Amino acid sequence: MADETYRKTVNIVAIVASAAFAGGGLLILLSYGIRWLATDPLVWRAGFWDEFLNFAITIIPLNMITLVGLVLSVRLDWQDRPTRRVWMVAIWLYAANTLFTLGYFIPQNILLIRDSYTADAASQVRATWLVLHILRVIIAFALPVMACLAAIRRAEVAPRAYPRSAQGAAS
**For the segment 72-96, what is each residue's pLDDT rounded down to a tens digit?**
999 999 999 999 999 999 999 999 9
What pLDDT is recorded for position 162?
45
Does residue 148 come out as left (phi exceeding 0), alpha (psi in the -120 to 50 range) or beta?
alpha
Question: What's the CA gap between 48 and 14, in Å, rounded?
Answer: 30
**For the segment 30-71, what is each residue's pLDDT rounded down to a tens digit?**
887 778 778 887 777 777 788 878 888 988 999 999 999 999
138, part of any domain: yes
143, part of any domain: yes
- Residue 8 clears pLDDT 90, i.e. is over it: yes
- Residue 143 clears pLDDT 50, i.e. is over it: yes
Domains held by the chain: number? 1
21, part of any domain: yes
120, part of any domain: yes
What pLDDT is recorded for position 53?
84
Give the range of the structural domain holding residue 59, as residue numbers without chain letter: 2-157
167, part of any domain: no
CB-CB contact of 82 with 88 (8 Å): no
What pLDDT is recorded for position 141?
97
166, part of any domain: no
132, part of any domain: yes
What does the DSSP 8-state code read for residue 115?
A: T
What pLDDT is recorded for position 158?
67
96, part of any domain: yes
Question: What's the CA gap between 44 and 39, in Å, rounded?
Answer: 6
